[in-house]
Amino acid sequence: MNNNLIQDFLDNRLTAEERIKFEAQLANDPALAQEVAALNHFKSSIQKAAFTEVTPNLQPILSDIARPRPTSWLTKSAPIAVAGFAIFGIGMAVNRVVNDRTNPTLANAKTLPAEAKFRTKSPLVMHWDGTDPIQGAEKIRNHFSRKIPTIALSDLEGANFTAAECGSCWISFHYQYQNQNYAIYGRCEKGSIDSGLQHSSGNQTFYEFQDAVGWYDSGDMTYVCTGGNSSGRFKVAQFASKRTSDIH
Amino acid sequence: MLAIIPTISQPASKNGMGLFTRKNPRDFEREVSGELAVLFRVARRLGCGHEEAEDLVQTALIKAYKAWDRFDGNHLRSWLIKILRNERLMVIRSQKETISLDEHEEIEVVQEGFWSELDGKLEAERILNALEKLSPPYRMAIHLCDVEELTYEEAAEIMDVPIGTVRSRLSRARQILREQLLAEAKAEAKS
């Protein structure tokens, strides 16, 4: 019995002549017929097994990529706005550098590596502006299949929740604290912030970068706090890290 | 009011032979929508974890969208899978992983009841585990031809190999799978 002949028969690779010959052989050889049926069953079992795997809903990702955003007067005037923001941003950055130089921890710190910039890893799926962190977390949960914490920062005086966002593989919470904007990004992965300067506070290890501070929760998530200045970031991260391990 | 420009392309199914035409960006979402599950499954077979597979599909979709106006309308599924596979290979190369391939010549099997012996030992979980253990080229051959039912020609185009190689990989992959499933079933029966 030729196994390749059976395979070619089932995969429709035989010529018409070869097929007729094989079918004649099949009709007179019960063992061959049984073997063909068994390989056919084997093939369909592989297919059935592969189809049992759960496929996530990828439609929002496709829609996000495929639907071009409408061009409005806002977009047309974007270059002017960008220039304005750039001037403002340079001022803020200078202010931040001066501020951060007073922090000896950051003297040797690296900048946040590209792999830890979770916001860039997949396009935005949901943005929600609001002041209720519970509602914000709920909005993310509607789009994000994993468990996520509610990080209210209600115990950090002066911190106000401002927005929630998520992509298909990342989440973020946004706050205003001491007139500065901060964002906490989370993603289900490990290892991307290892290059940061390590230091511990309580039971938590933090990874400091010049422009961010990160930490791992007790499960499989990594969090990174960006924005504001170094002391504010660390404060926000300290309080947030108490909540990020609550869910596991 | 926006006018919807009709295209003359035929539906780009896996076997569709569309006319060469520049694709309307508006068609992208509609046509690609039905291929998302296929792309995710292929990404998983390419060794990606669940989230990594989502990321890979997304990257491939972005690439496909950018190249959509150059797509000729033929074999959409193969075209998308090829983009996905190339993206995965780029990641693997950047991580300096090497894919080992124990390439074998075609093996002719002569004993009686070669496939029949498997009857009753085909459970989904066991098959998936055995699939994971196959080396990547064998796993891809099985997945493209047996799961997604692509032709040898389409699989060869995706994997950048001659049709004969697809045939021999498929043959070898099925035999390895069969041996693994039998061995596991026998070990289970003994215990």
Residue contact B58–A122, C-beta within 8 A: yes
Best probe of the A interface among B94, B116, B144, B154, by most A CBs < 10 A, is B116
Q: Which residues of chain B from 35 to 54 reach within 8 Å of chain A, CB to CB?
A: 36-37, 39-41, 44-45, 50-51, 54
Best probe of the B interface among A55, A71, A119, A144, by most B CBs < 10 A, is A55
Lowest mean pLDDT among A32-41, A114-123, A229-238, B12-21: B12-21
**Are A228 and A177 within 8 A, CB to CB?**
yes
- With bands split at pLDDT 50, 70 and 90, how would you rate the model's confidence at A128? confident
Q: Is A157 exposed, middle or buried (0-12, 13-18, 19+ CB in 10 A)?
A: exposed
Q: CA B80 to CA B99: how far, in whole Å? A: 22
The per-residue pLDDT for range A234-247, each reduced to its tens digit, is 999 999 998 887 76
Query: What's the pLDDT score for residue B22?
Result: 52
**Are A104 and A203 within 8 A, CB to CB?**
no
| Beta pairing class for A124-129 and A204-208 | unpaired
The answer to whether A74 contacts chain B (CB < 8 Å) is no
Return the HEC string of B37-102.
HHHHHHHHHCCCCHHHHHHHHHHHHHHHHHCHHHCCCECHHHHHHHHHHHHHHHHHHHCCCCCCCC
Closest partner CB to B114 (pick from A35, A67, A68): A35
The answer to whether A56 contacts chain B (CB < 8 Å) is yes
| Beta pairing class for A204-208 and A180-188 | unpaired
Average pLDDT, chain A: 85
In this prediction, residues B68-84 reach a mean pLDDT of 90
Best probe of the B interface among A58, A117, A188, by most B CBs < 10 A, is A58
Query: What's the pLDDT score for residue B19?
Result: 43
Helix axes A59-66, B25-33, angle to 10 degrees: 170
Residues comprising chain B, all counted:
191
Residue at A244: amino acid letter: T
Query: What's the pLDDT score for residue B3?
Result: 37
The per-residue pLDDT for range B30-50, each reduced to its tens digit, is 899 899 999 999 999 888 888
Three-class SS state of A179: coil
Chain B neighbors of A47, CB-CB under 8 A: 146-147, 149
Q: Which residues of chain A from 165 to 224 reach within 8 Å of chain B, CB to CB?
A: 168-169, 188-189
Closest partner CB to A55 (pick from B37, B61, B115): B37
Q: Which domains does chain B have, with CATH numbers?
A: 26-94 (1.10.1740), 116-190 (1.10.10.10)
Closest partner CB to A58 (pick from B57, B110, B147): B57
The per-residue pLDDT for range A190-208, each reduced to its tens digit, is 888 998 988 888 888 999 9
The pair of structure tokens assigned to B25 is 């960006």
Contacts of A216 (CB under 8 A, 6+ apart): A190, A193, A205, A222, A223
- Is residue B20's pLDDT more than 50? no
Average pLDDT, chain B: 78
Chain A neighbors of B40, CB-CB under 8 A: 55-56, 58
| Beta pairing class for A159-167 and A171-177 | antiparallel
C-alpha Rg value of chain A to the nearest Å: 28
Name the closest residue on chain B to residue A61, using Cα atoms.
B58
Lowest mean pLDDT among A36-45, A140-149, A160-169, B132-141: A140-149
B41 closest CA partner among A149, A124, A53, A133:
A53
Contacts of B41 (CB under 8 A, 6+ apart): A50, A53, A55, B143, B147, B148
Contacts of A213 (CB under 8 A, 6+ apart): A196, A206, A207, A224, A225, A230, A233, A234, A237
Name the closest residue on chain A to residue B33, using Cα atoms.
A59
Residue contact A61–B58, C-beta within 8 A: yes
User: Helices then strands (H, E): number in chain A?
Assistant: 8, 8
Q: From the CB of residue A1, how many other CB atoms can be counted at a distance below 10 Å?
A: 18
Domain boundaries, chain A: 3-51, 109-244
The answer to whether ipTM exceeds 0.90 is no
Q: CA A48 to CA A116: how far, in whole Å? A: 38
Higher pLDDT, B108 or A211: A211
Residue found by looking up tokens 């979770």 in the block: A118
Q: Express as a percent the part of chain B with pLDDT over 90.
A: 35
